[in-house]
Structure 1
Amino acid sequence: MGIEALARPVPREHRELVREMLGRLPEFADRLARLLSEEDEFYRQVEHVAPDELRQVCHANLERALTALAEGRGLALDAARKTGLVQARQGIPLPAVLRAFRIGGTFVYEALLELAGPEFLNSTRTIEINSYVWKAIDLYSDALTTAYDQVAAEPSHANVQRLDDLLRGRLAGQSEMEAAARELGLPTAGMFVAVVTERLERDGQDTVEALMRARRWRSAWRPGGEAGLVAIDRIEDLRRLREVLGSLPVAAGLSRPFAGFPDVPDALHRARIARRSLPSATAGVVVFGDSPVTTLVAAAPGMARDVVRSALSGVLTLPGAERKVLLDTLLAWFAGHGSAKEAADRLFVHPNTVRYRLRRVQELTKRDLTDPVDIGELYVALESVRLDPEPS
């Protein structure tokens, strides 16, 4: 939800009225604040406690909407949604906010008619003004309602703490773990998968937990969707879960399915390793153990860097462009199961070019690409470089 256009662009002569209203914005913001305090009990209390704040809010909302109308562009609904998130978390009732927008819509409509004067108005122009003002109010109201729904779905502080206790293994005894699961909306028995993703902005629409709710997966998440538990009914659901998470442009690591809450901390650790099995800034979904060598490298990155220094040191000291060519060639050779022709097809070069580069790798690393031990060392080193291109 970003920029939303009105049904029809605001006519030029109407924009002049809007610009006139913008020129007298402090006056109209003050009038709207007084009107809200007269018409609504909640805003009457706000006027009594913080009159300046109410006028600032009226000023900001009027300026945002009127500027969009005057410039003939769409309405920026992200700002309305973010305002709604703040108001919802402050406990401001949604009916009061929606009522304020309706009062504000009527106020803007009547103010524009007042500025137009009787010589300007006719039935067509009156209907047009009414149409785009109320279309704007409908769009803003929808954005606010979406924000309130999002906050309503957020876990409470107590639930966040309970989930953290479960993920870290702080709960003693099966009964306490089952009680925590019930509070989190999880089943008390069955199979689960631990998930670790990139940290996402809480007000983003495509968060992992929002996607889980939309697909009716039973799950519990830390704020931001960075780590969570997902309940599954059968082993085959792991494939479905992988597909669902794969629809988001994020990197995600999954544990293998497990049964029993005592296994949660270990499963979370494995999900973190799976997450590290993806190169930085790369989207995708990895299940722990998908690639055993890559999993081992991700589990012990420090030791893997030592392997890099010993096995690929001769290549890594080359200038950047030359280093990349040799590493990409070696990677393509492994992906092609040791075939120079398959590697050449992947790289769009001649097989002899691949063979020349591989001989160069052997010279620099003092490893023989016909020796299984040397090949294994180079593969582990290459995976470490792929996951961490700039080892410290």
Structure 2
Amino acid sequence: MASARENVVAHIEQDLTVVVAAAVDAIRKSIPAYRDLHGAQLADVEAIAFWSLRRLITLWSDGSVVVDQRDQSRFRAIGAARASDGRPLTDVLRAYRVASSVFLRHVGEAYLDDLDPSDVVELSVTVLEAVDAISEEITEAYTTAREQLTSNRNQAQATLLDDLVVGRRTSPGALADRSRELGIELPAHPHLLVAQTIDSPITDKTVDALLTTLGTTQRTHLCTRRDRRAILLLPNTVTLRSVDDACRTLLLHGCLVERRPLGEVSASYRVASEALDTAPAHAFQERSVLDEGDAQLLALLTARPTADTTAVVRAVLGPLTEAANGHILDGVAAFISAGTATAAASALRLHPQTLRYRLRRARELTGRDPRHAWHRLALDTALQLRQLAST
């Protein structure tokens, strides 16, 4: 005849999916580093919670509080993975305590009357000793992994940027911890540059020369490489002009997305990389670096799922959409429509020199010269999209 504990264990195993869901929900609500997890990361947490609580039930059912070698290896792997993710150790350990509390409350609320006092005591001891053993294994593996990670600053910085590029976003607190450990200072709205040589993979020597030319230090940038390109997260004090001059000197082509939030690094990389894949040669006329307006226009022209007409207007026209610059925008629109400054001036009943002044101011404000085919396409497209949005 099955004992009371065996009967309860059987019922808990049937409830386990519900208990795991409650535990993960409690973890996300109480620990900021877990709040924004989604997709594969959230599924990973759920799988670990399910396995951990299942092992806890087994230990209690067997009357054992010993975490065996397989468990130790599993938790050490988890500790190393969390170190790589950059999730704070205190938050990782707290997650196990929160999950254990949810589990104990569930047993107490649903099955307390079915258990002997000795069963409850043994369950509590099992949980305490298991959490202690888990903490020890995770802490040791986490510490070792972090030491290895930070022992090579360049590799560690590249790993952090790789995480941002693929969308493994961490909480602001965790990102601050990783930055502090690596001795870097990241702005909330950095520039992202994707650069490549014309016909060969970019080398470390070229990247170092680029960074030296831009005057950045190890504390103010992140750098990694993907495929044949370099990816650089730069301080927002660097100007597009200086980046273009440096890339031109080093015979590089690039795309710079300026002042976007750290949480949008993945999207910025995608749009910049796709721009370099698809930009026609004349887009680089008299320059070496595309900007976000070019990238957003190319996303639209190539029918990318992420194409955003609002972003095209914002990035291409920029300050021309401000009320104070409305006369300049009108001058650009008239020039594109008429084809010459003289005809545009006549259409607006202006002196040709006044129209030319407005075009010069447009170039100063946007970096785009409507006399060049690519810039004219960008400006015309943005103007048409703005008109369509207003109607």
Shorter-chain TM-score tier: 0.3 to 0.5
| TM-score, normalised by the number of residues in structure 1 | 0.34
With normalisation by structure 2, the TM-score equals 0.34
